[in-house]
Chain A
Amino acid sequence: MNLSVNIAGVELKNPVMTASGTFGSGKEFEQYIDINRLGGVIVKGVANKEWLGNPSPRIAETYGGMLNAVGLQNPGMEVFIKEDIPFLRKFDTKIIVNVVGRTISDYCEVAERLQNEDVDLLELNISCPNVKEGGVAFGISPQMAEKITNEVKKYAKQPLIVKLSPNVTDIAEIARAVEAGGADAVSLINTLIGMKVDVHKRQPVIANKIAGLSGPAIKPVAVRMVYQVAKAIRIPIIGLGGIMTGEDAIEFLMVGASAIAVGTANLLNPRATMNILDEIETFMKTKKIRDIKEIIGIIE
């Protein structure tokens, strides 16, 4: 059975990766899972400098999902390079760095600093709903999305994935723009913007008021968007949004994703990626699928 897939020239042993922000850099998961089994680890967002993040409460439960407004708390790229890369390099898996910034030059600075570091791919996060400046602003306008992709490409040595926001009218248009800007792959979707009110206290549950919705509640939206994007561009797609089981992952592959990422499911069960991998293998065995690539994009 062959589970390997290729993203922008990087060979993943299987299509299962971890979604940014839901796996840290893997340290919290080492005691629960065999990180070597993962196709890749997409680490939490890394900025040029330390970001403090948003005040608490940052989390709320919603029906079949969750809201988060972490606000990309991270210690900055130097700490990441010193501590997280050596940790992840102990394992036989690909390292994908989620790059965040407030200005185009912030993003470029991180890409440039990582040029000679041992990482496999960069993922440009232009779609985080939880930061005031930058972030999502680049992800909702095709012109801005193309421009930032083009600028960061000048500094990036590793292939560049651009992570798309679902909070747009026409996601295919944004996907085409980043492809034109030189992206090597796209990943989608980031969280949907949501809100929850505590009617007894008459105030928003999350301190930031507005937050990102993730988990199984968003899966149909994510599948639809991957399907539309697959029709619009030629570069590979990493599909994510609400994947909880192997069959969920296969849905994304069938509509055109070459690989998938598991997000919220990691938070609910640290072994989620291992279970999903097992379920994909079982599915392939029972359906007599010898190569995972046979099912990628089979939905017309």
Chain B
Amino acid sequence: MCVDKNVGRSSCKIIYNNQIAEGVYEIVFESASISSLAQPGQFVNLYSSIGSRLLPRPISICEVNTKEQWVKLVYAVVGDGTKEFSMLGKGQTIDVLGPVGNGYEVEACETSILVGGGVGTPPLLELAKRIEGKKLIYLGFRTGSYLVEEFKKYGEVQVATDDGSEGHHGTVITLMNQNNADGQRIYACGPKPMLKALQQWAGERNIRAQLSLEERMGCGFGACVGCVCKIKAKNELGYTYKKVCKDGPVFDAKEVLF
């Protein structure tokens, strides 16, 4: 059965929820609608079951299987909400709304460069599956890596860690420079400093880059105008505010004002 309508906030059954690295979890749940609608770079909102913790926790879609109707997310435990999620197990349910947002525009070209940092790496997996041609995949972590084996199925993977515990000792950007990375399209998701550096890197080489941004969300589906980022505009200020949850999270690097 293919459900082609976003069904709103609904309870989804968890298939598994396992730790895959220190403080990082992989959750897989059933959803006919999300698995058939999801585009790479889109996200879902997860909700706490505790009444005092109201707001959505936006988490990127890492991978979907339309036939088996499951959705995979990878998240880091950073606060109370993600801690609560980490304690859920097989057979339990979690409230989810999605897919939401404007994902990556997949463009055919000879070589694509995918750049992920930390919990910004997961959304690149579904993307890597759907891009054709050669793929150079750069993954950066503070310390231990995850998802690297999965990524290896789709392209040439290079790992960088801040503490040098694995792969290149340094940032993905220095690793890209060291390797003279070359391609026609860049797709990225990760912390702001990484995206900012990539915006410059891509600009200097005149390569089109798509960046996935993060912002605090009130609703996560376009209703509250709470999640805005600065996008360049031809007005007196030189920018306007756009919604990360609906106009993004993916924006063209040329438009973004950090």
Contacts and interface: CB of A to CB of B under 8 A. Distances in A.
B217 interface: yes
B52 A59 contact: no
Interface in A7-53: 21-24, 27-29, 31-32, 44, 52-53
Nearest to A23: B223
A32 B8 contact: yes
A66 B6 contact: no
Nearest to A53: B241
Interface stretch (B107-115, B169-177, B225-233): B225-233
A297 interface: no
Interface residues of A, number: 34
Nearest to B245: A28
Contacts of B221: 28, 270
Nearest to A52: B241
A68 B224 contact: yes
Contacts of A52: 237, 240-241
Nearest to A26: B223
Nearest to B55: A61
A73 to B, nearest CB: 5
Contact of A70 (B47, B55, B225): B225
Given A53-B241, A58-B216, A70 B54 contact: no
Interface class of chain B by DSSP: loop
Contact of A269 (B8, B216, B229, B240): B8
A65 interface: yes
B144 to A, nearest CB: 23
A37 to B, nearest CB: 15
Contacts of A31: 5-6, 8
A64 B55 contact: no
Contact of A267 (B53, B215, B219, B241): B219
A66 B55 CA distance: 8
A66 B9 CA distance: 19
Interface string A53-64: 100111111011
A268 B226 CA distance: 13
Given A23-B223, A24-B222, A268 B241 contact: no
6 contacts: A44-B225, A59-B227, A63-B52, A64-B54, A66-B218, A73-B241
Given A31-B8, A32-B6, A271-B9, 19 more contacts: A24-B223, A31-B5, A31-B6, A56-B216, A56-B227, A56-B228, A57-B215, A58-B225, A58-B228, A61-B55, A65-B54, A70-B226, A73-B225, A73-B228, A216-B51, A267-B55, A268-B47, A268-B54, A268-B56
Interface of A: 21-24, 27-29, 31-32, 44, 52-53, 56-61, 63-66, 68, 70, 73, 215-216, 264, 266-271
